């Protein structure tokens, strides 16, 4: 199933996609209160996803609206937490141009992102006013379906409700300054994260799952031009189960939590430049970024002009980072080799 959050003008509601129509989940399950997003559904009693499937197959009647007549929002409007990992070696090594630490290979590393700046599909993304180097990041995302602590990798898949596309909009100039002092990323990742277009449930994505990884093809287009045409989601160095194990150790995960994999190899602008895509450059207002992931769909966002721009703002970057050499990784081909 594809579970989503939508709005027809009366506020957000959880829905399920059926034959190009959205069926209202609150009515489908007989809820006395409006389930306002996918997180609310996941918190709605025992086995809520199974109950939605049973209601649909059993012919339960509920209001529906054509997909084209609704505005889609992020599946989870404000996740309890957003953990963004970095598990693709091509991205972590900048396509073989730098050496990663031993720790990266030993454990899935992550940072916490901003849960208050979540955008959905076809959203307008304000260009961060303190940055001049805005980047997209093509990532796979999962949404946690039930809470737990200290979960072993062998049990971890039971805690994942489904998958979505995750776009980690990144201010590379701000990120470079922060990480130069070995702290962050923070403001470099603070302005926006896009999730969507919906959550595809675990059972529907099962045909793509092998060895704990989603074997999906990924692409990025900017203004209709490919900036990545052959991204491979199946060569993650760490598995989905290992992300759950690491995140939950001595901590807690909860329904609605979102995990990002980090950038699929080739899925950022620096990598597009290294691969020799002629039009690749940092984003500008008016750019339309489309990320497509096999089995999930398309997540689109349009960059709008800076808001509250102030040339005299005191925390601007002093020196812009240099761009990678165009085409330096044109013949680079990543192969997954586990240590």
| Chain centre distance of CA 199 | 11
Q: For 20-72, what is each residue's pLDDT tens digit?
A: 999 999 999 999 999 999 999 999 999 999 999 999 999 899 999 999 999 99
CATH 3.90.850.10 domain position(s) in the chain: 82-304
- Half-sphere CA count of 306, side-chain side, radius 13 A: 14
Peptide bond into 197 cis (omega under 30): yes
For CA atoms 146, 151, 152, 153, give the dihedral sign.
positive
What is the CA angle 113-76-232, rounded to 5? 70
- Alpha-carbon distances of 94 from 99, 294, 306, 329, 332, rounded to whole Å: 9, 24, 29, 9, 11
What is the spatial distance between Cα 2 and Cα 61, in angstroms, rounded to a whole number? 18
Strands, E, within 202-320: which ranges? 209-210, 213-214, 217-222, 225-232, 258-268, 288-293, 297-304
Residue 121, pLDDT > 90, answer: yes
Percent of all residues in the chain with a pLDDT value above 90, rounded to a whole number: 97
pLDDT at 339: 87
Query: In the CATH scheme, what is the code of domain 82-304?
Result: 3.90.850.10
pLDDT at 184: 85
pTM above 0.95, yes or no: yes
């Amino acid at each position: 199933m594809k579970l989503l959050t939508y709005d027809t003008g009366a506020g957000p509601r959880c829905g399920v996609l059926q034959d190009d129509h959205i069926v209202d989940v609150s009515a489908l399950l007989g809820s006395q209160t409006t389930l306002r997003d996918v997180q609310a559904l996941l918190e709605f009693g025992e086995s809520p996803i199974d109950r939605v499937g049973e209601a649909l197959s059993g012919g339960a009647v509920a209001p529906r609206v054509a997909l084209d007549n609704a505005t889609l929002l992020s599946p989870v409007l404000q996740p309890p937490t957003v953990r963004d990992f970095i598990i693709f070696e091509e991205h972590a090594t900048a396509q073989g141009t730098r050496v990663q630490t031993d720790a990266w290979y030993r454990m899935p590393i992550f940072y916490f992102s901003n849960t208050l700046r979540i955008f959905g599909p076809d959203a307008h993304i304000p260009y961060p006013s303190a940055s001049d180097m805005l980047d997209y990041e093509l990532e796979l995302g999962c949404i946690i379906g039930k809470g737990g602590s200290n979960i072993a990798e062998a049990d971890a898949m039971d805690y994942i409700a489904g998958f979505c596309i995750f776009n980690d909009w990144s201010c590379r100039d701000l990120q470079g300054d922060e990480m130069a002092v070995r702290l962050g990323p923070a403001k470099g990742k603070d302005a926006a994260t896009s999730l969507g277009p919906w959550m595809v449930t675990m059972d529907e994505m099962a045909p793509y799952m092998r060895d704990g990884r989603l074997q999906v093809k990924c692409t990025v287009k900017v203004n209709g031009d490919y900036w990545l045409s052959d991204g491979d989601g199946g060569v993650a160095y760490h598995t989905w189960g290992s992300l759950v194990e690491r995140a939950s150790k001595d901590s807690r995960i909860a329904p609605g939590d979102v995990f990002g994999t980090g950038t699929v190899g080739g899925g950022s602008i620096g990598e597009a430049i290294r691969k020799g895509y002629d039009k690749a450059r940092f984003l500008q207002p008016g750019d339309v970024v489309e990320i497509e992931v096999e089995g999930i769909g398309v997540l689109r966002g349009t960059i709008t002009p800076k808001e509250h721009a102030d040339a005299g703002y005191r925390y601007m970057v002093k020196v812009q980072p240099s761009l990678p050499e165009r085409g330096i990784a044109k013949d680079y081909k990543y192969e997954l080799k586990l240590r």
